């Protein structure tokens, strides 16, 4: 990646981070920027995109993206001009939980589309530029739920497990071209996504984490910076578990 002698420096890299408004994606964007990358963070609204630029500061960008839409991905890429991303973090994700017998078709489709098909769209969109540059880093946000399953999350578990297979397949396709493709599987991380969980359930989950605490977005962002960095040049097709020991594959 970069010529900088610092193994963790991202100077000269352009990082596209989907869902960079809040939670894990916001912290990944912050930390990639702190490591020297120029960051393009996405939000689902113009206000959110403006907030990303205010947060990250000059030299970075906020863009609107619906990761579930081909047209939106095309519009995003068209707007980047010659700023071809050398790092892609597929972080955008949603949950629409329900037991299978109550799960509506749109809840299945929306979660698969936003959490899994989005990675197909975005990887395809950035890959040509990475192949040309003969370097790149792709990081897909999976979940412990994609490994262990979770009752009431059939759609989410399918999408997150699908991302792991996709990560390995794409890693094989591009390994010889200086491009790595890896997944991060966070455990229970305190963000808006988990804020809706009942207090009793939160207590039960946190009680079952060997590290004795919930994870933070920074715990996950640190893993993303590593995988994006020159230090991780020989790591590809891997799943990095960031879960305080909750699940060990």
Catalytic machinery residues: 156
Name which of 178 and 247 has its Cβ closer to ligand NDP: 247
Alpha helices in the chain (DSSP H): 23-34, 46-56, 70-80, 105-112, 118-133, 144-148, 154-174, 192-195, 199-207, 217-228
Among residues 86, 81, 41, the alpha carbon closest in space to that of 178 is found at 86
Query: How far does Cα 160 stand from its chain's mean position?
Result: 11
Of 94 and 148, CB closest to ligand NDP: 94
Closest CB 234 distance from ligand NDP, rounded Å: 25
Among residues 182, 169, 180, 159, which one has the least CA distance to residue 239?
182
Q: Shortest distance, CB of residue 10 to ligand NDP, whole angstroms?
A: 20
Smallest distance, ligand NDP to C-beta of residue 24, A: 4
Binding residues for ligand NDP, per CB under 6 A? 18-19, 21-25, 42-45, 48, 65-68, 91-94, 114, 141, 143, 186, 188-189, 191-194
What is the separation of C-alpha 158 from the centre of its chain, rounded to a whole number of angstroms?
A: 16
For CA atoms 93, 241, 224, 181, give the dihedral sign. Answer: negative
Nearer to ligand NDP, 191 or 236 (CB): 191
- Smallest distance from the beta carbon of 160 to ligand NDP, in angstroms? 7
Which is nearer to ligand NDP, 30 or 114 (by Cβ)?
Answer: 114
DSSP 196: T
Closest CA to 67 of 38, 44, 45: 44
């Amino acid at each position: 990646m970069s010529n900088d002698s610092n193994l963790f420096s991202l100077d000269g890299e352009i990082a596209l981070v989907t869902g960079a408004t809040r939670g894990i994606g916001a912290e990944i964007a912050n930390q990639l920027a702190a490591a020297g990358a120029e960051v393009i963070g996405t939000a689902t609204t113009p206000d959110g995109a403006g907030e990303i630029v205010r947060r990250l500061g000059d030299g970075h960008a906020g863009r609107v993206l619906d990761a579930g839409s081909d047209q939106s991905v095309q519009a995003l890429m068209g707007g980047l001009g010659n700023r071809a991303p050398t790092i892609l973090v597929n972080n955008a994700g949603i949950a629409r939980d329900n037991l299978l017998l109550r799960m509506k078709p749109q809840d299945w489709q929306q979660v698969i589309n936003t959490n899994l098909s989005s990675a197909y769209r975005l990887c395809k969109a950035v890959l040509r530029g990475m192949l040309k540059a003969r370097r790149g880093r792709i990081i897909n946000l999976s979940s412990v739920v994609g490994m262990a399953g979770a009752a009431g999350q059939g759609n989410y578990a399918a999408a997150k497990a699908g991302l792991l297979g996709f990560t390995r397949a794409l890693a094989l396709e591009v390994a010889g071209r200086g491009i790595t493709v890896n997944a991060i599987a966070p455990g229970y991380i305190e963000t808006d996504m988990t804020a809706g969980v009942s207090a009793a359930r939160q207590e039960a989950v946190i009680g079952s984490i060997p590290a004795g605490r919930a994870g933070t977005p920074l715990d996950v962002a640190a893993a993303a910076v590593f995988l994006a960095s020159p230090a991780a040049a020989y790591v590809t097709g891997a799943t990095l578990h960031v879960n305080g020991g909750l699940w060990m594959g």
